[in-house]
Amino acid sequence: MTALDLSSPVAVVGTGTMGQGIAQVALVAGHPVRLYDAVDGRAGEAADAIGARLDRLVQKDRLTGAERDAARARLTSAESLDALADCALVVEAVVERLDVKQELFRALEDVVGDDCLLATNTSSLSVTAVGGALRVPGRFVGLHFFNPAPLLPLVEVVSGFATDPASATRAYETARAWGKTPVTCADTPGFVVNRVARPFYAEALAVHELRAADPATIDAVLRESGGFRMGAFELTDLIGQDVNESVTHSVWQAFFQDVRFTPSLAQRRLVESGRLGRKSGQGWYDYRDGAERPGPHTAPPAEAPAYVVVEGDLGPAAELVGLIREAGVEVRPEDGYGAGRIVLPDGGTLCLTDGELPGSEDLVHFDLALDYRAATRIALSASESVRPGLLSGATGLFQALGKEVSVVGDVPGMIVARTVARIIDLAFDAVARGVATPEDVDTAMRLGVNYPLGPFEWNRRLGDTWARDLLSHIHEWEPSGRCAPSLALHRHAAAADAREGTPS
C-alpha cells in the first residue's frame, strides 16, 4: 500500500490552528486541498490565512513564487460537505468532543466513497470510539499532528481496534510523503507522546508540592542538568495550564484513574484561579509588562576541597572523575563495593541519587545530568541534619567544575533522576502492552517533545537496572504506587541481573 497520489484531493474539516496547519502541509506537498468549516465564512478566512503563510515562505526562500501560486490554485474552500465527495482523504480537526466527531464522520460517510481514507487529529479521544459508529470503520485512522503542524515533523499514526492494516499503512506512507516522520501506535490513552511524557510534568509538580524547590529552580535543573529544552513549569505555561491539565486528566480517566497518571492539585488550583500561562498573562510565571522573572536558587561561592577520594565506580556519573582532575583537584582512587562515592577531606560523602533519602549527617546526594561535562548546573540534596560545612564543601567541589549549584530539599530521586526514571518506566510499559516499538517511542519523544534522548536510549546509557532500582527506592519512601516500577521494567532489569549473575 503506497501513499496517496498527489493528484488525489485532500480535505480538512475544521479550520482552526491545527486544521490550517495540516492543510498547509498537504498543500505544500502537492495535493489539491479543500477546506470546510461548519461556521459560515471560516473556511474562506482560513484559506486567506494559509495564503499569507505561503507568502512568508516565499520571503524566507522556502518556496518559489511559482510554487506559491500553484499551491494557492490548488486550495479551495467548500460550502458544504457535499463538495468533498471525490476526496481520497479527509482529516478532521474539530473540537475535542466525541459526539461532535462521531456525528461529523457519519455525515462524511454519506458523502465520500468507501475507498476514502478518514482520519481524526484527536490528541485525547479514543480513535476506536470516534470511528466506532461508522459503516466502514476499517478505513478510519488517527493522524495526530503536533502544533505547529508545518514545522514539527512527528505524526502519530494511530490504529483503532477496527482499523484495517492497509488503511494505517496508507496513512503512514502519505504522512511520510508529506515530509513528516510518522510513527505507528495502537489506540491507547495518550498514544505515545502524551502517555510517556506525563512524568516530565508530574515529577516537577510533585517536587514543588513537597516544597523541595520552587518552579524556577526546578526548571533550571531540568534544562541545565537534564538537557531538556524547557523546564516543566515554563513549558506548561507555554502550552496553557488548562490544556496541559486537561490532557493529564483525560489520560488519567482513560486509564481508570491509574495512580501513575494522577493529576496535580497545585496545577488544578492554578487553572481555577485563571492563571493559564502566557495566554492569560500569568501562570507559574508572570508575563505581564514589567514583571520580573524569578531566578533559580543558586548557592553562593564556596571553597573547593584540596582533594577527594573516589571509591568504586560512579556509574552514570563516572565522567566527574576526569572533570575533577581537570579542575585541579587531586583525585585519590580507592577500590569500593556497591555504588561509587566521592569522599571529601572531612569524611563527608557525595553520591549520585539512588532514590533513597540522604538520611545521614555525612551524606550529600547530587542529581543526574544528561552530560556532566556540558551541564551548567547541578542540584544537591541533604537531610536536615547534615553536618555543618559538608554542603559547603560539596558546593565548592561542583563550583570548581564550573557549575552553578542549586540546593534542593531531600526528595527521593531529586529532580532529573526521578523524572528520567519514570519516563523510562512508562516507555517500557507502553512497549510491553503493544502500543509502539522501542524505536518509534524514542523517535516520538525526541521529535514530539524535543527530549534530548529517547527513553530507550537513556536506558542504554544509564544501565538496564538503573531505573528499576531508583524507582523501587522511591516507592519505599512514597508507597502510593505512583513511582512503583512496572512489570515490564522489572522483567527487563531481572534479565540484566541474570546476565550479570546478580540476585534480583
- Residues 241-257 have pLDDT tens digits of 999 999 999 999 999 99
The three cell numbers locating residue 238: 507555554
Mean pLDDT of 7-21: 96
- Amino acid identity, position 347: G
CA 189 to chain centroid? 15
Query: Cell numbers 462524511 correspond to what residue?
Result: 108
The DSSP bridge partners found for residue 119 are 91, 141
Residue 335's pLDDT is what?
79
Q: Tell me if residue 8 is catalytic.
A: no
Query: Cell numbers 478566512 correspond to what residue?
Result: 45
- pLDDT category at 1 given cuts 50, 70, 90 is low
Q: Tell me if residue 123 is catalytic.
A: yes
Mean pLDDT of 68-74: 96
DSSP state of 154: E
DSSP state of 296: P
In this predicted structure, the answer to whether residue 374 has a pLDDT above a threshold of 90 is: yes
User: Which residue of the set 92, 109, 124, 156 is catalytic?
Assistant: 156
- pLDDT category at 31 given cuts 50, 70, 90 is very high
Q: pLDDT over 90 for what percent of the chain?
A: 95
Residue 504's pLDDT is what?
58
> Are 85 and 111 a contacting pair, CB within 8 Å?
yes
- pLDDT category at 159 given cuts 50, 70, 90 is very high
d(CA 292, CA 285): 9
d(CA 80, CA 92): 14
User: Which residue of the set 144, 208, 365, 473 is catalytic?
Assistant: 144
- pLDDT category at 133 given cuts 50, 70, 90 is confident
User: Which residue of the set 77, 126, 167, 194 is catalytic?
Assistant: 194
- Amino acid identity, position 173: E
Q: Tell me if residue 156 is catalytic.
A: yes
> Are 193 and 154 a contacting pair, CB within 8 Å?
yes
In this predicted structure, the answer to whether residue 185 has a pLDDT above a threshold of 80 is: yes
> Are 410 and 383 a contacting pair, CB within 8 Å?
yes
Q: Going by DSSP bridges, is the β-strand pair 89-92/117-120 parallel, antiparallel, or unpaired?
A: parallel
> Are 448 and 152 a contacting pair, CB within 8 Å?
yes
Mind giving me the DSSP string for 81-128? Answer: GGGGTT-SEEEE---S-HHHHHHHHHHHHTTS-TT-EEEE--SSS-HH
Q: Going by DSSP bridges, is the β-strand pair 349-352/377-382 parallel, antiparallel, or unpaired?
A: unpaired
Q: Tell me if residue 194 is catalytic.
A: yes
The separation between the first and the last C-alpha atoms of the chain, rounded to the nearest angstrom, is: 46
d(CA 476, CA 291): 42
- pLDDT category at 503 given cuts 50, 70, 90 is low
> Are 367 and 225 a contacting pair, CB within 8 Å?
yes
3-state secondary structure of 16: coil
- pLDDT category at 338 given cuts 50, 70, 90 is low
- Amino acid identity, position 445: M
Query: Cell numbers 492494516 correspond to what residue?
Result: 165
Task: Output the CA–CA distances (angstroms, integers) from residue 500 to 63, 463, 495, 497, 504, in the order listed.
Answer: 56, 12, 9, 5, 10
Q: Write down how long the chain is.
A: 504
- pLDDT category at 500 given cuts 50, 70, 90 is confident
DSSP state of 462: H
Element (H, E) at 309: strand 307-311
d(CA 416, CA 420): 6
d(CA 209, CA 222): 17
Residue 333's pLDDT is what?
87
Task: Output the CA–CA distances (angstroms, integers) from residue 372 to 233, 355, 421, in the order listed.
Answer: 23, 19, 17
> Are 264 and 271 a contacting pair, CB within 8 Å?
no
Q: Which residues contact 11 (CB under 8 A, 6 or more apart)?
A: 33, 34, 35, 36, 78, 84, 87, 89, 90, 91
Query: Cell numbers 493559564 correspond to what residue?
Result: 276
d(CA 131, CA 340): 54
- pLDDT category at 499 given cuts 50, 70, 90 is confident
Mean pLDDT taken over the chain: 95
The three cell numbers locating residue 81: 460537505
- Residue 502, Cβ neighbours under 10 Å: how many? 11
Residue 360's pLDDT is what?
86
Residue 388's pLDDT is what?
85
Element (H, E) at 185: strand 181-186
User: Which residue of the set 77, 109, 121, 123 is catalytic?
Assistant: 123
Residue-wise pLDDT for 393-412, tens only, equals 999 999 999 999 999 999 99
Residue 124's pLDDT is what?
84
Mean pLDDT of 349-353: 97
